[in-house]
Structure 1
Amino acid sequence: MEDNVSLKQLIDELTSHSEEEPVGSRPPVAREKHDPIGSVLDIAGSGSQARFDPARLLALADHSDPSVAMSGQVGSQVKMAVGKSWLIANVRTMRADDNGRIIAAIDFLGEGTRDQNGGMSGFRRGVTRYPIPGAEVHPVTTDDLRQVFAASDSAHVEIGTVYPTDDIRGALYIDPMLSKHFAILGSTGTGKSTSVALILHRISNYSPEGHIVMIDPHGEYSAAFKGCGELFNVDNLQLPYWLLNFEEHCEVLLTTDGAERNRDADILAKCLLAARTKNKFSEQFGKVTVDSPIPYLLTDLNAVIVAEMGKLDRAGDTTPYQRLKTKLDELKADPRYTFMFSGMNITDSMGSFISRLFRLPANGKPISIVDVSGVPSDITSVVVSVLARMVFDYAIWSRTEAQRPILLVCEEAHRYVPKDENNGVQAVRKILERIAKEGRKYGVSLGLITQRPSDLAEGVLSQCGTIIAMRLNNERDQACVRAAMPEGARGFLDAIPALRNRECIVCGEGVAIPIRVRFDDLEPEKRPASSDPSFASLWRETGGEPEIISRTVKRWRGHGR
């Protein structure tokens, strides 16, 4: 026994290295207690520096524990002992100094209690006591990360596996994520749509009586939610035109700009108010405005326009009225607008429309997919504006009732909240910006999905408390995400261009600390119809082209698209 002890001591002496041992010396043998891989160099609040020993980092590369093997690399975690606590930090950047040592910028994430055996328990975000320069830096183990990423008892959904582990689950906390809004960002082809479907499926499974409205501009999510959602498109949406407020009426009916538009808007306001008040139904509500969602007949609006035009003395003054009448006639005659401007939408269907769209009650199908791909492009933004405003207005006017929070998910968000303020989508921009700023007060959550975060209006992304960033190839997009992410998550940003498909960085309110997650695989029947076509294989297929063209032309002409 004594010989064995002596032999062990001899091995330890031969494999131990001082902090100043030169580069190129033999790497130490990894031990279960894990020798320190470096020391703290300086402390500066959330961003500090550590000095790593290259030989000891190399010695960890083949370790059986993947977390230990990754420690000290960019995007990985390390730990430092301070009193009875372990401090966990994330490695942001690394560089070599003149002596061949590695200088790493680190961001502190939180701390946990250090037990007698060197283990950690009770991890919590934030730091109460910082280490001093010279303190040893140790690799983290999978057991450490299990404590760090362990989901609390709060309501959460698991979406994947935390990198670089094989079995630690990445969780999103439902209440913090939804109450503070969230954004899912990623370049085309990174698996963004499938990941969105996965998250919404997990939330729907957790809350089968929830209320989720998703704006789907490409018609790709209908296939993913056939079993647990209601699907709406131009064939069954039946959006009443009289639900539009005055600003939305202007975007649909006015065709002029500048001073002429202002004049046309004044005339429309006068005629629209007269049409709304013609309905006897409006008398029970007292004061009626141009924005009041009260049914009116298009024939009444047309009659008011004609009547006002008849009161004019000079023929030249009739031009604005004629423009309005012509546009109104076009909308009534064009079959593409039937879903909104049809005679079926005259009755007071506001209650049933809200019930269907907002899933009140949900009856086990908590999500509404609104496919706007068939909506004429010139009024798509108006349709989205009406739907978003209905969500927000309902939340405001139902404050005295039992609360029913609603999640509004907006795909291709940069279309509706663009950075350019002069692109003509003012109504939808205003309501989405208002929801981003005020929605959480009234129980409205906003989920923004985009592949071009740099094209989003400034300030909207910063209102999102949780950011789920997949691979972004564009430097402007990366810079935009960097500005929106909290300071402690900056170390993960360098990994964004190198993320694999269906991998993401999650930071903010919805997670305990920033994490890198590999999304779970989603069952084929729950995936959106967004997969890229295989040119190589599809171009080998032939046959049936005349029938394909005939059916396509028929659908094309039938819908007037």
Structure 2
Amino acid sequence: MNDQPSLKQFLDELSSYADQDAAQGAASAARAGVPPIGQVLEIAGSGSRVVMDADKLNELQSHSDQSMSMSGQVGSQVKVKVGSSWLVANVRTLRAGDEHGTVIANVDFLGEGSQRSDGSLASFRRGVTRYPIPGAAILPVTTEDMRAIFAADDSPHVEIGTVYPTDDIRGTLYVDPMLSKHFAILGSTGTGKSTSVALILHRISQLSPEGHIVMIDPHGEYSAAFKSCGELFNVDNLQLPYWLLNFEEHCEVLLTTDGAERQRDADILAKCLLAARTKSTQSAQFGKVTVDSPIPYLLTDLNQILVAEMGKLDRAGDTTPYQRLKNKLDELRADPRYAFMFSGMLVSDSMASFVAKLFRLPSHGRPISIVDVSGVPSEVTSVVVSVLARMVFDYAIWSRTEAQRPLLLVCEEAHRYVPKDENSGGQAVRKILERIAKEGRKYGVSLGLITQRPSDLAEGVLSQCGTIISMRLNNDRDQACVRAAMPEGARGFLDAIPALRNRECIVCGEGVAIPIRVRFDDLEPEKRPASSDPSFANSWRETGDEEGIIQRTIKRWRGHGK
């Protein structure tokens, strides 16, 4: 840089030579009252380097325009003139320049827009068609420019908050691109993640009151948030028929062994389960019946078939696997905790009504089903989630010839069900969620993953999410995982993730025009999930009725069987 004119000389000369190509941006900016702050140093694909005048940046910090006052800071935007277009870039890193009073910045180009008569930016769109040449003037982005950059088009969209650092520019999510290519909401505990999830789902529900959303709620947080616009299901009213389980899910519930013994038990279960399904009075009308077919069968039939098969054996020792299966089956039928799944001796074909109420077909203005699995015994929670997710996917596959009714499956605490460890339990739920992530968009199934530990998610699942909404993440591994999943142009925003305030997020991907930092709107108290942390200091000051609290708690505890 020493053999070139100084940056200050360059900026001064721009005013004198406004007719030169390198000065076109400055001339346009002068008409809008915006001073140049630097010049392009090096161009390299999506990312480039610019040099800026530290004094001019310091002067801008007291500017009345909030966007201009942030210019030159990490995460802020700058613009450069290329032909008749403005190119917008995001500042990723800053360091002191070789020349005194200069700052070197790495920037990522986000998109471009046309120029209005007053020199400001208009009609912004993602992507870059022409790059600037080294020496082109760098200018700060004004609030009016920001309005053009973040102006929502006519596509269906929802507003979720305010774009940083402005007070009134709205951050929007485009619903179709976000849902058709899946999305993930990430954030450490205590960042306001649950409330933000509720806000986004409320806004989508308001936009599409006849939508079809199924949410898996492992902690019972969201029932309070959606009681006015959703249907709430838990162990008391879910009534999930056991015969909807496929063979793999039957194995996870009924088999208790490992290794070679497990394979032997599975072979026996497959034979007996197929016989029970085939014996069903309804099986004849469905043609070919397989061990996976969701055809109602009686548990008593399965029991009798196990006993009959056991009776055919010569040596008493061979009956052990049959006895294991029979004992487990008897245990499930007798355990009141499993009544929501293994209830009663009478079996009716309730599949149509179950699908209709769970998938909100029709919605009647209540488009979301909250399935609270907090009361489900922990041994079968992953199986219950597997059945629900698989039914969403299977319904979409088998209804392809009908009028389209796309489904959104939202999975809270997703790292539980699609863990990085491939040898952990719950393989059925892992397989179906991975399949939805890879293939769901072909069939009109959208997946929303919510997690506080993205680094514990299976490899590849996060990268299948076209839109990533990241709140503050405190763990280095989680930050690295999100960094790997986010597109190149969002790198400047990623450095802000550890510094985000509560209820603030970075959004990038298909659901937004360009990566944005957004402060979420406040949600009405009656629409918030029951996830607020208790105040130890306040609660520990309260006394009275401890005996009654204990008695009522123990009654519920014992009555629930857990």
TM-score calculated relative to the size of structure 2: 0.94
Distance in structure 1 (CA, Å) of the matches to 2:218 and 2:464: 23
2:480 equivalent to 1:492: no
The alpha-carbon deviation at position 99 of structure 1 amounts to: 2.6
Extract unaligned runs of 5+ from structure 2.
1-6, 13-28
Paired residues of 1:19 and 1:53 also in contact (CA < 8 A): no
Distance in structure 1 (CA, Å) of the matches to 2:116 and 2:471: 36
Q: Secondary structure at the match of 1:40?
A: strand
Paired residues of 2:11 and 2:37 also in contact (CA < 8 A): no
* 1:18 alignment partner in structure 2: 9
Q: Summarize deviations over 1:293-331 as a string: whole Å, max 9, x none.
A: 000000000000000000000000000000000000000
| Matched letter for residue 96 of structure 1 | A
Paired residues of 1:111 and 1:127 also in contact (CA < 8 A): yes
Q: Secondary structure at the match of 1:322?
A: helix
Distance in structure 1 (CA, Å) of the matches to 2:505 and 2:112: 24
| Matched letter for residue 462 of structure 1 | S
Change beyond 3 A, Cα 1:345–1:248:
farther
Distance in structure 2 (CA, Å) of the matches to 1:79 and 1:97: 20
The alpha-carbon deviation at position 353 of structure 1 amounts to: 0.2
Paired residues of 1:506 and 1:516 also in contact (CA < 8 A): yes
* 1:191 alignment partner in structure 2: 192
The alpha-carbon deviation at position 363 of structure 1 amounts to: 0.2
Distance in structure 1 (CA, Å) of the matches to 2:426 and 2:384: 11
Distance in structure 2 (CA, Å) of the matches to 1:529 and 1:299: 41
| Matched letter for residue 452 of structure 2 | Q
Paired residues of 1:241 and 1:345 also in contact (CA < 8 A): no
* 1:67 alignment partner in structure 2: 67
Paired residues of 1:409 and 1:448 also in contact (CA < 8 A): yes
After TM superposition, the structure 1 = structure 2 runs for residues 436-455 of structure 1, keeping only pairs within 5 Å, are 436-455=437-456
2:405 equivalent to 1:404: yes
Distance in structure 2 (CA, Å) of the matches to 1:201 and 1:413: 20
Change beyond 3 A, Cα 1:356–1:267:
same
Q: Which moved more, 1:93-102 or 1:370-379?
A: 93-102
* 2:49 alignment partner in structure 1: 49
Change beyond 3 A, Cα 1:150–1:274:
same
| Matched letter for residue 34 of structure 1 | V
Q: Secondary structure at the match of 1:43?
A: strand
Distance in structure 2 (CA, Å) of the matches to 1:195 and 1:319: 52
* 1:378 alignment partner in structure 2: 379
* 2:96 alignment partner in structure 1: 96
The alpha-carbon deviation at position 285 of structure 1 amounts to: 1.0
After TM superposition, the structure 1 = structure 2 runs for residues 244-259 of structure 1, keeping only pairs within 5 Å, are 244-259=245-260
Q: Secondary structure at the match of 2:91?
A: strand
2:290 equivalent to 1:289: yes
Distance in structure 1 (CA, Å) of the matches to 2:361 and 2:493: 40
Q: Summarize deviations over 1:330-356 as a string: whole Å, max 9, x none.
A: 000000000000017711000000000
Paired residues of 1:193 and 1:530 also in contact (CA < 8 A): yes
2:537 equivalent to 1:546: no
* 1:80 alignment partner in structure 2: 80
Calculate the aligned-residue CA RMSD, in Å. 1.3
Distance in structure 2 (CA, Å) of the matches to 1:34 and 1:153: 30
After TM superposition, the structure 1 = structure 2 runs for residues 473-552 of structure 1, keeping only pairs within 5 Å, are 473-552=474-553
Q: Summarize deviations over 1:407-456 as a string: whole Å, max 9, x none.
A: 00000000000000001110000000000000010000000000000000
After TM superposition, the structure 1 = structure 2 runs for residues 9-408 of structure 1, keeping only pairs within 5 Å, are 17-19=8-10, 33-100=33-100, 101-343=102-344, 346-408=347-409
Q: Summarize deviations over 1:222-279 as a string: whole Å, max 9, x none.
A: 0000000000000000000000000000000000000000000000000000111111
| Matched letter for residue 397 of structure 1 | W
Q: Secondary structure at the match of 2:138?
A: strand
Distance in structure 1 (CA, Å) of the matches to 2:516 and 2:117: 28
Q: Summarize deviations over 1:135-156 as a string: whole Å, max 9, x none.
A: 1100000000100000000000
Q: Which moved more, 1:344-353 or 1:372-381?
A: 344-353
| Matched letter for residue 139 of structure 1 | P
Extract unaligned runs of 5+ from structure 1.
1-15, 22-29
Q: Summarize deviations over 1:158-205 as a string: whole Å, max 9, x none.
A: 000000111100000000000000000000000000000000000000
Q: Secondary structure at the match of 2:224?
A: helix
Percent sequence identity over aligned pairs = 82
* 2:473 alignment partner in structure 1: 472
Distance in structure 1 (CA, Å) of the matches to 2:197 and 2:52: 39
Q: Secondary structure at the match of 2:478?
A: helix
| Matched letter for residue 464 of structure 1 | C
